[in-house]
Amino acid sequence: MTGPTPLAGLKTVEFTHMVMGPTVGHVLASLGAEVIRVEPIGGDQTRRLLGSGAGYFPMYNRHKQSICLDLKSEGGMEVARKLCERADILVENFRPGALDRLGLSYEALSETNPPLIYCSEKGFLPGPYEERTALDEVAQMMGGLAYMTGLPGKPLRAGASVIDVAGGMFGVIGILAALEERHRTGKGQKVISSLFETTIYLVGQHMAQFAVTGKAAAPMPARVSAWAIYDVFETKDDPVFIGVVTDALWEKFCTLFGLDKLWADDTIRKNNDRVLARDRIMPQIRELISGFTRAEVVAKLDGTGLPFAPIGRPEEMFDDPHLAASRGLEPVMLDDGTETRLPTMPILMNGKRPNARAIMPQPGADSQTVLNALGYGSDEIETLVSTGNVGIT
């Protein structure tokens, strides 16, 4: 790690798969914590996902170590327990009760490791739904986010695993708060973060809108915006988003684009009046913008203080000049040896990004190192490997 490592010295053991749980470990590892990822013999199935899941493993498992254990075997479980006994933090996101049945519940582990902070990433917090199977998309559909994202009557999930990732980040917040409390008490605790409740937190602004106005929030594509000019506009080639969010910016916008007649109209000098007159104003703005190329619009708006954005695609971000200048992408070597760059943590600490070259952990690549650190001798390791309790690559 070449960037800030504020969590250096903290030992984390991770029993996770897919996105939500691995996000917790990824954040901790990116900030310098030692994260040992426990995988089944042969590696986590997440490594082999296709389609939209093909990027899950490399994105959320950098900077970690991998040990492969057969948790149904006595030897594999012995190693797992030793890891947990020495850990500061445990992260898991399997079905409710899965680790409990293996003897790795918080209650069992805290008896031998009282300072342990045990983070469970679940579909739901305790309640009537807690035994249901939940995924990011399930939570988005149940919690109202898909309703708010899609057109009326056509719910649509967000274009990224926002609930998995946000739920993971809430888990990290809980862990950091528990660490601070442990500094005062010496005791650990169990932290639970969930997909459904994370979704509810994110749509809370729409719930509050209903509480304030008495009117249900409309899906985003059909909403009445707080600003008259706050939309995606077609150009001669590619679309661009433009927002005019203050009266001073309205004057600037009109000046930039030669909208003398609109600026001369005293009835729309104030934002709320423009919102009420949106049906009259917008056709004129759309016709105007359609006469420019996207590059021409961007050139006019850049540096003016007006909010704008060309409509980017994920693959274009590899060549984004701002990300290059701000070290927003870190070098990563994928499983097959391919060199690429992936997003680093979106924070700056003491003027530095937590940005470092990462090699994806091969399944069980760190098994021997981890076992040596736990005190296993070469003969014991050989026995564990030969009996299939531990996998080493």
CA 293 to chain centre: 34
**Which residue do the tokens 């609109």 mark?**
262
Taken in order of first residue, the domains within the chain and their CATH numbers are 11-202+326-391 (3.40.50.10540), 225-314 (3.30.1540.10)
Q: Which positions ≥6 away from 55 have C-beta within 8 Å? A: none
The C-alpha atoms of residue 274 and residue 282 are separated, in whole angstroms, by 10
What predicted TM-score, i.e. pTM, was given to this entire model?
0.95
- In the chain, the DSSP E strands lie at 11-15, 34-39, 65-69, 89-92, 117-122, 189-194, 229-233, 240-244, 308-310, 329-333, 339-343, 358-359, 390-391
Beta strand 65-69 with 34-39: parallel, antiparallel or unpaired?
parallel
Query: In the numeric block, which tokens belong to residue 141?
Result: 């559909």
Tell me the catalytic residues. 164
Per-residue pLDDT of the chain (393 residues; tens, 9 = 90+): 568 999 999 999 999 999 999 999 999 999 999 999 999 999 999 999 999 999 999 999 999 999 999 999 999 999 999 999 999 999 999 999 999 999 999 999 999 999 999 999 999 999 999 999 999 999 999 999 999 999 999 999 999 999 999 999 999 999 999 999 999 999 999 999 999 999 999 999 999 999 999 999 999 999 888 899 999 999 999 999 999 999 999 999 999 999 999 999 999 999 999 999 999 999 999 999 999 999 999 999 999 999 999 999 999 999 999 999 999 999 999 988 999 999 999 999 999 999 888 888 899 999 999 999 999 999 999 999 999 999 998
The C-alpha atoms of residue 393 and residue 67 are separated, in whole angstroms, by 9
SS3 121: strand
- Main-chain dihedrals φ then ψ at residue 198, nearest 5 degrees: -65, -45
